[in-house]
Amino acid sequence: MDMAQPKVKAVFKENKILVVSSPEDIEGFSSRGYGEPKDEGLALTCYEALYLLGKEIVKIEDDSTKEEMNFQDLLKKSRSIDENAWAKYLIYRDMRSRGYVVREGFGLGIDFRVYTRGEYGKETAKYLIFGMQEGRPVSMEELAQALKYVQSLKKRLVLAVINRRGEVVYYSLSQLTLK
């Protein structure tokens, strides 16, 4: 087998990306914190698919055209699904490159749950990520609500701010006082 070729096959179908490869590939991805198991395969988020495609770990076929998608094709479709797809991808890629397992967040502006090395599947996420882009305002009320929610879960809130150069800077938010 040619090692330069991505071996795991995925399909972009009805605004979803599904890994439709072998059960071993699906289990391997799932155990490393990728995707959500579904009956028809492993469903990847747009940012997970962009990350894996960028690393040449997957190849993605557009179900409607039967053509292989490149990174730009997938990014364009991802942006039509979620206008923040690029920002989420940048944060996701940065966190993964630092060795964290990153999973989808759960509302109130929380973009991601983050697990430190060796904790995924054993512990709950200690950090919740609130993504922000430089030049795009976020209301103090929105931040305060997210902080209160995260603290009620006994987690730490981390602001991931993407600057104009696409770099991600992290800030831990533990107290917010409005005067």
The mean-pLDDT minimum among 37-46, 51-60, 148-157, 168-177 falls in: 168-177
Instruction: Tell me how many domains the chain contains.
Output: 2
pTM assigned to the model: 0.90
For residues 46 and 116, membership in a common domain is answered with no
58 in a structural domain: yes
For the cut 60, the answer to whether the pLDDT of residue 153 exceeds it is: yes
Tokens of 127: 């950090």
For the cut 70, the answer to whether the pLDDT of residue 164 exceeds it is: yes
Domain closes at, from 32, 58, 81: 81
41 in a structural domain: yes
Dihedrals φ, ψ of 89, to 5°?
-60, -45
Q: What is the pLDDT of residue 117?
A: 84
For residues 8 and 21, is the Cβ–Cβ distance under 8 A? yes
Tokens of 88: 């989420």
For the cut 90, the answer to whether the pLDDT of residue 6 exceeds it is: no
For residues 87 and 72, is the Cβ–Cβ distance under 8 A? no
CATH number of the CATH domain containing 34: 3.40.1170.20
Q: Could you read off the pLDDT of 35-70 as tens digits, one per residue?
A: 999 888 899 999 999 999 999 999 999 999 999 999
* C-alpha–C-alpha distance, residues 178 and 176, integer Å: 7
The mean-pLDDT minimum among 26-35, 62-71, 168-177 falls in: 168-177
